[in-house]
Amino acid sequence: MNIQQDLQVEDLPLQRFWELSAQKIQLIRSDYDTSQGSPVFTEDGVYTTRGWTEWTQGFQFGSEIIQFDATGQTEYLEMGREATVTRMAPHITHIGVHDHGFNNVSTYGALWRLCREGRIDASEWEQSFYRLALKSTGAVQASRWTPIADGGGFIHSFNGPHSLFVDTVRTLRALALSHRLGHVLYGEHDEPISLLGRLIRHARATATYNIYYGEGRDSYDLRGRTAHEAVFNVTDGQFRCPNSQQGFSPFTTWTRGLAWAMCGYPEQLEFLDMLDDDELEPYGGRQQVESMMRKAALATCDFYLEHSSLDGIPYWDTGAPDLHKLGDYRDMPADPYNDVEPVDSSAAAIGAQGLLRLGHYLQSRGEQEKGSRYWQAGLSVARTLLEEPYLSTDESHQGLLLHSVYHRPNGWDYIPEGQSIPCGESSMWGDYHLRELALYLSRMTGDRPYYTFFSNTRQ
C-alpha cells in the first residue's frame, strides 16, 4: 500500500466525521426496531439483525458513549449509559460466547474509563456497578477454557471447546480489565485462576497456532498470514489443523481476522506497560511475554501492508477465488464496486487502529523510524476511510462505514440491485471501530489523554 509520509492527524476531516456519526446514531435510535434483536448489518441502508450470536449490541451503545467522549455532547452519554444499565446485563453472564470484550468493554468498560478520567460525574455506587460488571465479564469469558498439550490453553469460541478463533485476541480486553480491578476466577475446590495468566496463555496460543511467521510450518506459511480458526483434539490437547469459518479457506487469510490480531496484540502490549514485572514472572517474564506479542503484531501488520490495495483497503480474503481477475490489486486503489470480490472496510477500520498503536508503541521505545512506518500507514488507511466512497454521507442510510462484509461464505451480505457482489452496506462492528479509530486520533490532538481501554491512570 501507499504510505503517505507527510500526512498528519490534523489533516483528517474529524469534525465532519463526528457530525455524520451523530446523525447516524440518531437515525438508528429513531428508526431501528429493537424487538428484532441487536442491529448487525444494513440491507439497502437499513439496519437488520442476524440470529447467530448477539455480539454487536455493545457496539451500538458503545458508539453512543464514544460520540460523547469525542464531542462532549451529553445526550449521547445519557443514551449509552441508560442502555448499558438496562440492556447489557445478559451479556455479562453469557456463557455461550467468546465476545465479552466486544460487548462489555465497549459499554461498561467505556463508562468506567470515563469515570477514571474524571470526564463524567458518577457516584461511588455507579462506579462500583461498572467495576462489578467488568470483574464478572472477564471471569465468565476466561471460564471458557480449553487446556492444550503444550501446557497452555485458550478461550474457546462458540463453536465448541476444540475451536480457537483469532478474533478472540481482541476480546482479551475483558480479562485485562478484570485482572486490573483485582479480580480472580475461582474453579473447583476454590482453586484460584489468574485472569492475567489466561490472557497471556490465550495470546500465546493464538500467536502460535493462528499466526504464521514464514518458518516452514506448512506449505502455505507466509509471514503474517492468519488462520481464522485453529482446531484441537480436546481429548489430548493436540493441535490438529487450521480452519476458517468466515474466510475462503484454512490456507488463505480472512482479512478481518487478520485485523483483529493486528489491533489486539498492540493494545495488549500497551496494557503490559501498566503491570509490574513480578506479575509477569509466572508466565515467562516480561521479555518473553512482550517478545511473543510483538512478534505477532509485527508479522500481521506487515502482512496487511503487503497485501492490501494501494489505498490501504483490503479485499475480504487475500486468497478469494476470483481475486486474480482484478490483476495485481495491490498496485491500484481498491474498487468496492467491482464485479468479482468484495472489499471489507471494517477490516481496514480495525487494522488501522492496530497500525497506529504499534507505531506509537515502537516510537515510545525509541524505534522512531520503524514506528513511523506503521503510524503513517495507519493515518493513510484512516484518511481513505474518512472520505467517500467509504464514509456514508447519505442522510437516509443508517450506516456510517460503507462496504463492510459479514459472512461471505454463508451468503449473508446484501447485494444491491445491479451488482454481483456485496457493496455499499455497513456493519455495526465496522461503524463502531471507525468511531473508535476516530476517537483514538481525536485524542492525539490538543491536550487529551492517550486513549486506551484500560485507562492510563493507575488504581
Query: Which residue, among 84, 3, 12, has the nearest Cα to 439 in the 3D structure?
Result: 12
Answer for the pair 202, 172: CB distance below 8 angstroms, yes or no. yes
Grid coordinates representing 156? Answer: 474457546
Q: Provide the angle, in degrees to the nearest 10, between the axes of the packed helices 286-307 and 195-209.
A: 40
CA atoms within 13 A on the CB side of 122: 22
Task: Find the largest Cα–Cα distance for the chain.
Answer: 62
SS3 190: helix
Q: What is the pLDDT of residues 117-132, one digit of tens each?
A: 999 999 999 999 999 9
Per-residue confidence at 35, pLDDT binned at 50, 70, 90? confident
pTM of the model: 0.98
- Residues facing residue 192 across a β-bridge: 186
What are the domain boundaries of the chain? 9-442
Chain segment 305-344, per-residue pLDDT in tens: 999 999 999 999 999 999 999 999 999 999 999 999 999 9
Cα–Cα distance between 159 and 93 in angstroms, integer? 18
Give the lowest-confidence range in 112-126, 232-246, 311-325, 443-457: 443-457
- CATH fold group of domain 9-442: Glycosyltransferase (1.50.10)
Q: Cα–Cα distance between 300 and 310 in angstroms, integer?
A: 17
Say which residues have a Cβ less than 8 Å from residue 410's Cβ, sequence separation at least 6: none
Q: What is the pLDDT of residues 154-201, one digit of tens each?
A: 999 999 999 999 999 999 999 999 999 999 999 999 999 999 999 999
The secondary structure element, H or E, covering residue 48 is: strand 46-48
Beta strands in 144-246 (DSSP E): 145-147, 153-155, 163-165, 185-186, 192-193, 229-233, 238-243
- Going by the DSSP 8-state scheme, the letter that residue 372 receives in this structure is H
Phi and psi torsions of 192, nearest 5°: -75, 135
pLDDT in tens, 47-90: 999 877 789 999 999 999 999 999 999 999 999 999 999 999 99
Percentage above 90 pLDDT, the chain:
95
Which of 143, 145, 178 lies closest to 162 in space, CA to CA? Answer: 145
**Residue 204, pLDDT score:** 98
How do 185-186 and 238-243 pair as beta strands? Answer: unpaired
